Structure 1
Amino acid sequence: MDDHSKSEKRAGGDVQSVSEKVHISVWDVDNAKLAELGYKSEFKREFSLLETCAFSFSIMGIVASISSTLSFGLVSGGHVGLVWGWFIPGFFVMFVALSMAELASSMPTSAGLYYFSAKMAPEKYAPLASWITGWANITGQVALVCSIDFTCAQMITTAIAVGSDGETILSLGATYGILLAILFSHGVVCSAATRVLARLNIFYVIVNVGTTLAAIISLLVVSGDNKVSTKDAFTLFENNTGWINNGWAFMLAFTAPMWTLTGYDSAAHISEETAGAGRAAPIAILVGVGATASLGWLLLIATSFVIPSVGDLLGTSLPLPMGQVFLDVLGKRGMLAIWSFIIVVQYVTGAAQGVDASRVVFAFARDNALPGSRWWKKITPHTAVPVNAVWFVMAWSGILGLLGFSVTALTSLAGASVIGLYTSYSAPIFLRITSGRNKLEPGPFTLGRWSTPIGTVAVSWVTFITIMLLFPPGQTTTPDEMNYAVLIVGSVFIFATVSWVTSAHKWFNGPVRNVDETVERRST
């Protein structure tokens, strides 16, 4: 080997050595911060900033989520429900995301929201605040996994119906069987090692964005002159809800964007698997919400332009009206082509949400807050992943999936997931702007003096949305058409309340330190 080659080899080795030292240094700082928060490092930090952003973005699955929930806007306002029923919630959700980003930057731990509540609450009430937030978050997480995978099953049945020219319409029982198969496959995927999950998210985001852009362009281009006027696309209002008050009917359209814009707390829940978590988590939250809200609005505007009759679209025999939109504009082959990619997007969205939910279950079990915690907090040594927690999520999602036999299955599952998640989002934000004003030690991302006004808007919005989502879809209802979100959320609330009063208040003290050594604060 000549001197030049030796020099290059030494230089390459030096560069690699420096790179490794940088990574080790970042991991050391992250692990020291985690120990300071009270937890030992049990995961491998293999999510980069890019992969964390991809994870937060992928979990919301724009084109698939809109394809799943188009009926909400169509029923609650028609064209106005689609366009402005998305824009208004998207604007207010950014206030929630900003407040959450600040908390995640300060306290980067998989415990996430219930940990934030414990630290922001008065010391006397910290365990109760943590208990309420944790149970609300787990309820929302599991309901979200189920609702995503249920709509994925509906997408598959829609494709079968179109492919057979309407001759094969699968029953609700068959749809439930597809749901169980999807949940099982997600259990296998979510049990993979962290490095595999991290790399998969780059693929997820490429498919997600690519399919969304393809949908927007194809709808606008292929429809040609068969579009409604700009005035109608943005201002034509139709109330098909059964509610007499048009204003209330319109606000029910908010369910769709609120269901789509959930799960971005995932960036906090994987922070123990992220390098530079104090910086990466808040960036991922804001990028995920901002990009999803923006691209989603553009897709809905394009969709609004190509719907000549809302009534005819609501009368489709397909399980999901968006399938009919693509069929009308693109024809059978074009619809099946883009629909196949939308199914892939929804599938990977469910996989990402399964990872997120399993980390919440693991963290809550690590603090001994769940029945059978010793099982759910186990980390599989080979993959360094909480596999038992993964299957806990899939099993309960399968049970919730029985609601698929109800007419209002998606309304109920979407409502339960939004109520559970946004209650857990708003609890630590409320405590941050009240009892915790002087408790937060800012991380790399901070709102400074804007934290109180932004947090106030965030909490006010979530309070309104939570109340709204408890109402039934129509002014009169039957057992088959009722909003079962009340039953799901109410059952968990009753269980958590009875558990707290009879037992948990004696032994649950909030987040439990599992590191013994005293960790000095390290400046980054």
Structure 2
Amino acid sequence: MASDQEMQQYPIKDDPTKDEGGTRYDVTDMDRMGKAQQFRRNIRPLAALSFSAVLQATWEYIMLSDYEGLQDGGLAGMLWTYVWSSIGFGFIIVSLAEMASIAPTSGGQYHWVSEFASPKYQKFLSYVTGWMSVLAWQAGTASGNFLTGTIIQGLISARDPSYDPKGWQGTLFVFAMILITYIFNVYAAGLMARMQNLLLATHILCWVVVVVVLWALAPLRSADDVFTEFQNFGGWSSMGLTVMVGQLAAIYGCLSSDACAHMSEEIKDAGRYVPIAITWSYFANAIMGLVALIAMLFATPSVEAALNDDTGFPFIYSFKQATNTAGVNGLTAIILIPVIISNILFNASTAHQTFSFARDRGLPFSTWIAKVDQKRKLPINSIIITCIISCLLSLINIGSETAFNAIVSLNVAALMFSYSISMSCLIWRKIFHPHTLPSARWGLGRYGLAVNITGWLYVVFALFWSFWPESAPVTTETFNWSVAIFVAVFLVSLVAYLVQGRKIYDGPVTEVKNHEF
């Protein structure tokens, strides 16, 4: 149970629904998990769906980050890896949604591990999962800001071919994007919550505009080219291997629908509507992403020319085929607007996940990180930490031409690791102790175990390929440095556990009421 000091720091109000906008189900869930209601529940069901859909931004990210997919697989490789990645992720998403209904908390994976794992191992597994989950979401936040900052730099190249883009200049653009996310999440958080439905409409409208322009104005490839033409520009020894390596771009586009789970403590009736938001937003975004990807692939006359475009972004090359320079700037802005909004929401979700792990004393300086601004009802210190880490990760761009690939790989690998542990714990409990699982208001029924196992198998598959470099032969310039960061953070988590964690970290399950093993 929580200590007296913690109870004083996080007092539970007599009626949380009165001041914070929750329902009786929210009160029951928070009470069962032993957590105080510290945030305003000002995100309603439709707004939660909007939050999840806009944050994931599948169609935007699948277009913006298609370089590796085109390099390692060509048109057909990019298409089919997206198809199987979106199907594989579907099993993951519904499994995460089920866990989010059982335990609707900002902690997400590390909390679920703590609840579902064997009592013998829950403390250690939850602690390590928390560290890797923090790493995953921090890297994901950094990747979105990195994309928007470097794309703005790419637009300068499109307008002025004589411009020689430098890594440090791109990093400064990234810093500017991070500053924007900080300002919105600290000073306009209430406005963002009220504008969620409008943001969803923007997400859909921008998709319609981009798809229509590409289909109507760009010279189109044949269906045979798009669906059957695989190409290998990465230097790998076989086409099968190159397609496997190239799928990282597709996997990246499928990430982050579960971000809504980390906002559970701000969503009204979270046990019911968080899983609905996660699943509906994912599958709707997957379809929109497929349509946008096909439109872009048809509008790409030459994969080689797209990869060698001066801007460094193949999607800008595709836009050039459909319109002039002003049109390219306009279409790119149409994509950047929802992506910048996605970055703002991503930062908020990441900050809440980091706050939650600190609240359970899983991070250094936990007391400071877990502090909530009582006026704004926001984890401002956690937001600051998230912005600082994004800045630090963006510095990779100064010394490496494959910086974005490293950050994306880090995001994918750490997230897949946290998914694998939480899903394996759920599977273990369903098989050996199903009667101890708390009831869920959104579940998978009798097919749940089969769905969980299928999703777990895909997680392991994606994790294996996430560390591969984007091209061969592997040199210091093309090496995927994400593996070094991943291993370093993993080792730090082990050391932190031995030195401090095993003494002060008990895991959320110790605060859960009526928990049976």
Per the normalisation by structure 1, the TM-score is 0.91
Q: What corresponds to 1:419 in structure 2?
A: 413
Distance 2:508 2:462 in 1: 29
C-alpha spacing 1:192/1:257, structure 2 compared with 1 (3 Å): farther
Q: Which range moved further: 229-238 or 90-99?
A: 229-238
Counterparts of 1:367-446 in structure 2 under 5 Å?
367-405=360-398, 406-437=400-431, 438=434, 439-446=436-443
Distance 1:111 1:335 in 2: 41
Distance 2:413 2:282 in 1: 18
Look at both structures and tell me which one has the larger radius of gyration over its CA atoms. 1
Counterparts of 1:146-161 in structure 2 under 5 Å?
146-161=142-157
Q: Out of 304, 329, 335, which is 2:328 matched to? A: 335
For the Cα contact (< 8 Å) 1:420–1:489, is it kept in 2? yes
- Measured after TM superposition, the shift of residue 104 of structure 1 is 0.4
- Measured after TM superposition, the shift of residue 215 of structure 1 is 1.1
Find out whether 1:103 has 2:99 as its counterpart: yes
For the Cα contact (< 8 Å) 1:367–1:512, is it kept in 2? no
1:28-56 alpha-carbon deviations (Å, 9 max, x no partner): 33122211111011111100111111111
1:244 aligned counterpart, secondary structure: coil
Find out whether 1:211 has 2:219 as its counterpart: no
2:237 aligned counterpart, secondary structure: coil
1:475-519 alpha-carbon deviations (Å, 9 max, x no partner): 32111211011012111101001112233223211127779xx89
C-alpha spacing 1:379/1:32, structure 2 compared with 1 (3 Å): same
Moved over 3 A (4+): 21-26, 192-195, 512-515
For the Cα contact (< 8 Å) 1:160–1:169, is it kept in 2? no
Find out whether 1:511 has 2:471 as its counterpart: no
Q: What corresponds to 2:353 in structure 1?
A: 360
Q: What corresponds to 1:252 in structure 2?
A: 245
Residue 371 of structure 2 aligns to which amino acid in structure 1? K
Q: Out of 249, 262, 267, which is 2:255 matched to? A: 262
- Measured after TM superposition, the shift of residue 257 of structure 1 is 2.2
Q: What corresponds to 1:12 in structure 2?
A: none
Distance 1:324 1:306 in 2: 9
Residue 342 of structure 2 aligns to which amino acid in structure 1? T
State percent identity of aligned pairs: 25
For the Cα contact (< 8 Å) 2:361–2:504, is it kept in 1? no
For the Cα contact (< 8 Å) 2:59–2:290, is it kept in 1? no
- Measured after TM superposition, the shift of residue 23 of structure 1 is 11
1:240-267 alpha-carbon deviations (Å, 9 max, x no partner): 1111121111122221121122222221
Find out whether 1:202 has 2:197 as its counterpart: yes
1:144-187 alpha-carbon deviations (Å, 9 max, x no partner): 111110110111112222223x1334311111011112112211
Corresponding residue pairs, total: 495
For the Cα contact (< 8 Å) 1:43–1:273, is it kept in 2? yes
Find out whether 1:39 has 2:35 as its counterpart: yes
1:213 aligned counterpart, secondary structure: helix
Q: What corresponds to 2:127 in structure 1?
A: 131
Distance 2:87 2:401 in 1: 31
Q: What corresponds to 2:165 in structure 1?
A: 170
- Measured after TM superposition, the shift of residue 64 of structure 1 is 2.8
Distance 1:285 1:419 in 2: 21
Residue 214 of structure 1 aligns to which amino acid in structure 2? V
Per the normalisation by structure 2, the TM-score is 0.92
Counterparts of 1:474-489 in structure 2 under 5 Å?
474-489=471-486
Q: Please, which runs of 5 or more residues in structure 1 have no aligned partner? A: 1-20
Find out whether 1:497 has 2:491 as its counterpart: no
2:73 aligned counterpart, secondary structure: strand
Residue 472 of structure 1 aligns to which amino acid in structure 2? P
Q: What corresponds to 1:458 in structure 2?
A: 455
- Measured after TM superposition, the shift of residue 22 of structure 1 is 11
Residue 177 of structure 2 aligns to which amino acid in structure 1? I
Q: Which range moved further: 72-81 or 431-440?
A: 431-440
Q: What corresponds to 2:141 in structure 1?
A: 145
Residue 502 of structure 2 aligns to which amino acid in structure 1? H
Residue 253 of structure 1 aligns to which amino acid in structure 2? G
1:342-368 alpha-carbon deviations (Å, 9 max, x no partner): 121221111111001000111001001
1:435 aligned counterpart, secondary structure: helix
1:110 aligned counterpart, secondary structure: coil
Distance 1:22 1:190 in 2: 25
C-alpha spacing 1:519/1:99, structure 2 compared with 1 (3 Å): closer
Distance 2:341 2:100 in 1: 24
For the Cα contact (< 8 Å) 1:67–1:320, is it kept in 2? no
Find out whether 1:285 has 2:260 as its counterpart: no
